[in-house]
Amino acid sequence: MGNPAFLAGIAALALPATASAESLRNGGKLVLTNGVSSVEGTSGGGLTPWAVIAGNATRDGIGVQASATVAEVRDYDFRSLSIAIGAFDRLEISYARQIFDTNRIGGLLGIGEDFTFDQDVYGVKLKLAGDLVYGPAPMPAIAIGAQYKKNLDAPVVAAIGGQHRAGVDFYATASKLFLSHSVLASATLRATKANQLGILGFGGDKSDSYDVHPEASVAYQLSRRLAVGAEYRSKPDKLAIARENDWFDGFIAYAIGRNATATLAYADLGSIATRPKQRGVLFQLQAGF
């Protein structure tokens, strides 16, 4: 995904100069403040990244989180398996394998019933300033990130009008937990040309340029272990054959323990691959250390 020496240079700038073996094992974040795993593998909300770093470790350690996500909407099924590593509450590296099952609609589209689109997503996120929980109330945590996405079904992507089988999303995000009100708010701007996250390729017959789209999350912490909230994600619309709509969800997240979180969401994903009103449920189980 890039020059190893260049990535090592980024890590050297981002991480503290000293860290003992003992400190690498330390964990200390407040429960739920590492977020859940997005469908693209980054830490934050289910649909959009936040300016948080994966895992339970603070700035003195290295953390990790892994998740399995299942979504069932009107005509399609979606699966995502992901893992993310967070270093010193500053740098995050993530990977997700996405599987999109067309079920019977695949046959109607001429690509075969139960045809699956598969995609790999590699992510990197760097927190630039601020803190989700601590520091001045008006100052949020701020992070930037990139996601390299590679669709594994290039011939089908080309047949439906996708211009590329791979692409890169770039984003900037700001997030803050207002402890006195038990409210978390996050806003993201994403530059992308991905069709349905890249599952239908990148760019299309309507446009092959980058667009900037807003994303947002808000959550209310009902208790130390339980939070409810909603998310919004604006989407590009680049394929003439398949109109694309913005996404919405409402979710509930419960910390089973310090190292496990379960999330249930109702999602409205609009039109996907010619089929409108794609609404349904999403469930995720995440382990974090």
In a domain, 13, yes or no: no
User: What is the reported pLDDT for 7?
Assistant: 40
238 vs 109, more confident: 238
Measure Cα distances from 95 to 43, 161, 199, 267, 281 in Å: 11, 26, 15, 23, 23
In a domain, 12, yes or no: no
Token pair of 185 as six digits: 């708010």
How far is Cα 89 from Cα 63, in angstroms, rounded to an integer?
Answer: 9
pLDDT at 24 over 80: no
**Mean pLDDT, rounded, for 236-260:** 95
User: What is the reported pLDDT for 110?
Assistant: 87
In a domain, 70, yes or no: yes
**Mean pLDDT, rounded, for 175-204:** 96
Ranges 109-113, 162-166, 215-219, 278-282: which has the least confidence = 109-113
Round the average pLDDT of the chain to a whole number and report it: 91
| Span 79-101, pLDDT tens digits | 999 999 999 999 999 999 999 99
For residue 154, give the amino acid letter. Answer: A
pLDDT at 17 over 90: no
How far is Cα 100 from Cα 149, in angstroms, rounded to an integer?
Answer: 14
How far is Cα 73 from Cα 251, in angstroms, rounded to an integer?
Answer: 15
pLDDT at 19 over 90: no
| Span 30-64, pLDDT tens digits | 999 999 999 999 999 999 999 999 999 998 899 99
In a domain, 27, yes or no: no
Ranges 21-25, 74-78, 90-94, 184-188: which has the least confidence = 21-25
pLDDT at 18 over 70: no
**Mean pLDDT, rounded, for 208-220:** 98
In a domain, 5, yes or no: no
**Mean pLDDT, rounded, for 69-81:** 97
Q: What are phi and psi of 155, to 5 degrees?
A: -60, -40
Number of domains in the chain: 1
In a domain, 134, yes or no: yes
Question: At CA 219, angle to CA 213 and CA 225, rounded to 5?
Answer: 140
pTM of the prediction? 0.89
Domain hosting 161: range is 39-288
Q: What is the CATH number of the domain that holds 189?
A: 2.40.160.40
In a domain, 166, yes or no: yes
| Span 134-172, pLDDT tens digits | 988 889 999 999 999 999 999 999 999 999 999 999 999
User: What is the reported pLDDT for 136?
Assistant: 85
In a domain, 140, yes or no: yes
**Mean pLDDT, rounded, for 232-237:** 97
pLDDT at 6 over 50: no
The percentage of residues in the chain with a pLDDT greater than 90, rounded to a whole number, is: 82
What's the alpha-carbon Rg for the chain, to the nearest Å? Answer: 19
